[in-house]
Amino acid sequence: MRKYEANTIVPPAEVQQLAAEWLAQHEPVQLEPEQELLFIQFVQALVRVGAETAVTGPTYQRLMRTYAARGLPWLGKSDVLALYEGMCADGRLPYDPDFVTRLQKKPTRSQAGVTVVTVLTKPYPCPGECIFCPTDVRMPKSYLHDEPGAQRAERHGFDPYAQTAARIQALEQIGHPAEKIELLILGGTWSSYRRDYQEWFVQRCLDAMNGEDSASLAEAQEKNAIGPRRNVGLVVETRQDFITPDELRWFRTLGVTKVQVGIQSLDEHILAINKRGHDVQSTRDAFRLLRLAGFKIHGHWMANLLGATPASDRDDFARLWSDTAVRPDELKIYPCMLVENADLYAYWQRGEYEPYDEETLTALLADCLAQVPRYVRVNRVIRDFPTTNVVAGNKKANLRQVATARVEADGRALQDIRAREIRRQKVRRDELQLRVTTYETDATTEHFLSFETADERLAGFLRLSFPHPNQALPIPELAGHAMIREVHVYGPALNLSDDSAGEAQHMGLGSELITKAKEMARAAGFPKIAVISAIGTRGYYGRYHNFAMDGLYMTAVL
């Protein structure tokens, strides 16, 4: 693993102090020479424990106690990984990636093949006035001061460089490779921040990944394209009524690849009484523009808004898929959570709003989850507000598991991407079949190409989009192009130079998917194909698939 390099710009004093405190707490452990043999024995004991499973907390503690009694200092898993890597680098221990995997504290964080780094923008008002949305002046709109990610951002003064650098360091210390990073920028409505702030924010996040400063966003992007930690996805969240052709061009200039949009509801009345400030058509228009410009669309949908009933919520959720203009690629299902610092609280106090009870909500979520199409990834089923903030209604943080168990108990199966990802399971190429799922939207024909096992476990997928003939395009240069909107191959997040037998990322599945997409586009009569590549994936498309930068996208002649 590459070590993180120091920044050359001096950050503000309070950021320096926070960083110093953090580093002091995370000072690497040094072993005395006589402790090194004990450490090697300890590692060997860990390796012997459950060759196929993660080393659980109790097992780790038991072994640690044994070796601490013999004279080893008490080591956390991150200490063990750091020491282990040091010894491997010196040639004193053979490197075993399986051992590192088993010891990782939170294997799910990088299971989908990339490491996600989440950063928050500075506190700033949002043009929206949604009654369910909390206001905390210390935070960007819709975030609460004591949410875990928000605390992290505040600790770093919302500085993009400090947030990104600290996250990378923390992930690398617990054994998570951070060479392929999806950057998730959260906070209110991104498009309402000044563009110079947006540009600076992205530039500084990239500087942190690059480990060196740059004079401009373009320079930071150029460095990142060949840097040690590549940005393989950039996500922002904004409102549908900000999505215009001009905004999409700006997103591409920043390197954005995915946009999160709060659909919340597809019912005009519910949108109006919850004061969303836009209509359903605005969501439909935004999704059409985003899709035609190749962006991945991540929608948020809310249950239990003011005026909704379980029956109206079921109808509304069905519209996400029956309305061809909506059909997002990814979804967060957020049942409305009643918090004191949202306007909805006053409605509840006046008896005009009542949250669903746990059973009603569980049954509703189970019915929703069971109807999600196979081309959609459900990323979340509940907002992670700390339960101490929730005034009434559901406080269960594990409602997704409860609702999923309900679906399975009813003999129904989840089809969504997250339920079918192979995660860390090893598969052979001959166990996988290529499957194409085609569906229509109001402006495109979408092909979801997937590599699946016989029992429909998903090893990788590609989203191929064919704009309908004569469709007005938000980016006119894309005329005559088919579009690859996403390529995703699963497996643990391997470093750029690592190799690992049987893991989907290293079986060339991505290349096969791209080759197939090109064939399909050529057969459909498209002369060219474009891909909405992130900064850090440009080299891959250029080197292996003959794509070249052409304005805001990479394109190839078919």
Residue number, 158 or 375, with CB nearest to ligand SF4: 158
Residue number, 317 or 334, with CB nearest to ligand SF4: 334
Measured between alpha carbons, how far is 365 from 162 in angstroms, rounded to an integer? 38
Shortest CB 378 distance to ligand SF4, Å: 20
Tokens of 409: 């108990």
Residue number, 128 or 492, with CB nearest to ligand SF4: 128
As a whole number of Å, the CA-based R_g of the chain is 24
Residue number, 189 or 304, with CB nearest to ligand SF4: 189
Shortest CB 546 distance to ligand SF4, Å: 41
Question: In the chain, what is the straight-line distance between the N-terminal and C-terminal CA atoms, in Å?
Answer: 38
Q: Which helix (H) or strand (E) holds 261?
A: strand 258-264
Which residue shows structure tokens 């840097």?
A: 227
Residue number, 139 or 462, with CB nearest to ligand SF4: 139
Report the residue closest to ligand SF4, judged by CB.
Answer: 128
Residues 6+ apart with CB under 8 A from 156: 15, 18, 162, 163, 166
Distances (CA, A) of 90 to 5, 6, 78: 20, 23, 19
Residue number, 35 or 142, with CB nearest to ligand SF4: 142
Distance of CA 103 to the CA centre of its chain: 23
Q: In this structure, how many other beta carbons lie within 10 angstroms of the beta carbon of residue 411?
A: 6
Measured between alpha carbons, how far is 72 from 26 in angstroms, rounded to an integer? 18
Residue 55's identity, in one-letter code, is V
Residue number, 133 or 419, with CB nearest to ligand SF4: 133
Shortest CB 209 distance to ligand SF4, Å: 27
Shortest CB 558 distance to ligand SF4, Å: 40
Residue 330's identity, in one-letter code, is E
Shortest CB 249 distance to ligand SF4, Å: 22
Shortest CB 137 distance to ligand SF4, Å: 14
Shortest CB 312 distance to ligand SF4, Å: 20
Q: Determine contact, residues 184/117, Cβ cutoff 8 Å.
A: yes
Measured between alpha carbons, how far is 323 from 129 in angstroms, rounded to an integer? 26
Measured between alpha carbons, how far is 283 from 11 in angstroms, rounded to an integer? 40
Tokens of 552: 């805001």
Shortest CB 280 distance to ligand SF4, Å: 15
Residues engaged in binding ligand SF4 (CB under 6 A): 126, 128, 130, 133, 141-142, 188-189, 239, 262
Tokens of 117: 């780094």
Shortest CB 130 distance to ligand SF4, Å: 3
Instruction: Count the residues in the chain.
Output: 558
Residue number, 128 or 536, with CB nearest to ligand SF4: 128
Q: In this structure, how many other beta carbons lie within 10 angstroms of the beta carbon of residue 73?
A: 15
Residue number, 142 or 210, with CB nearest to ligand SF4: 142
Measured between alpha carbons, how far is 195 from 199 in angstroms, rounded to an integer? 6
Q: Determine contact, residues 85/126, Cβ cutoff 8 Å.
A: no
Shortest CB 324 distance to ligand SF4, Å: 25
Half-sphere exposure of 307 (CA within 13 A, CB side): 15
Residue number, 237 or 329, with CB nearest to ligand SF4: 237
